[in-house]
Amino acid sequence: MKMELINKEKIRNFGIGTVFVIIGLLVAVLMIA
C-alpha cells in the first residue's frame, strides 16, 4: 500500500516536471524567434 502511494507521488512529480520543461522550451523558441 505504501509503495503504491510513493509511485503515485513520483508519477505526479514527473508530470509536473515534464510540463515545466515543455513550457521552458516554448518560451526559449519564442525568444529565439
Q: Domain map of the chain by residue range? A: 1-33
* pLDDT value for 1: 60
Share of the chain above pLDDT 70, in %: 97
The whole-number average pLDDT for the span 5-31 is 91
Angle at CA of residue 24, ends 20 and 5, nearest 5°: 10
**Per-residue model confidence as pLDDT tens digits over 5-15:** 878 888 888 89
**pTM score, two decimals?**
0.57
Task: Name residue, grid cell 503504491.
Answer: 4
